Amino acid sequence: MKDTLAVVASSDACLSAARALAVQLDIPCLDCVSPEEIDAPAQVLYLGAQLELCATGRKAPGPVFVDFVGGSAAHRRKFGGGKGQQIAKAVGIRSGFYPRVIDATAGLGRDAFVLASLGCEVLMLERNPVVRALLEDGLRRLREAAQGDAELAAIAGRLSLEQTALPAVEWLFRQAPESQPVVYLDPMFPGRGKSARVKKEMAAFHLLVGSDADADALLEPAFAACYYRTVVKRPRNAPFLADRKPSLSFEGKSGRFDIHTKHGVPG
């Protein structure tokens, strides 16, 4: 990672924090410089009012960061369809029943935030240290915004990041059998063809994270740890995770939720 990523600060006021983050991640700190003025490495973590993953160079696309307060997260929280959303049905949300969810492949935390906004307590697992830093920064800003917003305060109280940084497979294997109500899996899937192209802004993120080549190994410990169900989010035409047929699936235009049930959720 040292040759492909560095930390930069937006100003002298952020320099101390930027250097500390560089030590934490064991990557260089280039001090105060704009990402567009950098030729190498290909990516930097830009620390200012928020932490951003940026491609470098003058024609680089926009940054990637975790935003639980504004943008698409705010729009979906207000207009996303509530308990009628497929993700809500997939995890088993019912009136008066909001299961605790382990999001074992949290990524940028978007689905975790949706579930927390719907009433579930969500614990995010994320093994990539850079993505974890982005999530920590997003949670920090969510908690700051929540100080003046009761609705955000309730959501912030339900959303957390596992602090051990263990790989999800190991974390799940360490859990007692049937101790976690719902386990949610959304492993990165290698894209093919034009339909799988991602937005330019996400190119840096996909370059950093890659595909989860070991994703199949998640299903067994996830299903062992869950009590009600394990939910797997997949592209619509993707094969079943670990080639294991689910109990049922909810299919949309571009994706689907495969549900592996163990015990029925309360009616």
Q: What is the CATH number of the domain that holds 227?
A: 3.40.50.150
90 in the same domain as 192:
yes
Using pLDDT thresholds of 50, 70 and 90, give the confidence band for residue 141.
Answer: very high
CA 76 to chain centre: 16
Return binding residues for S-adenosyl-L-methionine. 110-111, 126-127, 186
**Band of the pLDDT at 190, cuts 50, 70, 90?**
low
Beta partners for residue 46, in sequence order = 8, 52
pLDDT tens string 66-124: 999 988 887 777 766 678 899 999 999 999 999 999 999 999 999 999 999 999 999 99
Q: Is residue 63 part of a domain?
A: no
**Number of domains present in the structure of the chain:** 2
Query: Which strands make up the sheet holding 122-124, listed edge to edge?
Result: 159-161, 122-124, 101-103, 180-185, 226-235, 255-261, 248-251
User: Would you say residue 252 lies in a domain?
Assistant: yes
Say yes or no: 10 and 92 in one domain: no
33's CB contacts (< 8 A; 6+ apart) are 8
Residues 45 and 168 in one domain: no
Residue 139 confidence class, pLDDT cut points 50, 70, 90: very high
Note whether 120 and 236 are same-domain residues. Answer: yes
Q: Which residues are known binding-site members?
A: 110-111, 126-127, 186
**46 plus 96 within the same structural domain:** no
What pLDDT score does 197 carry?
41
- Residues of the domain holding 106: 71-261
d(CA 50, CA 65): 8
Domain membership flag for residue 43: yes
Whether 30 and 54 have beta carbons less than 8 Å apart is answered as: no
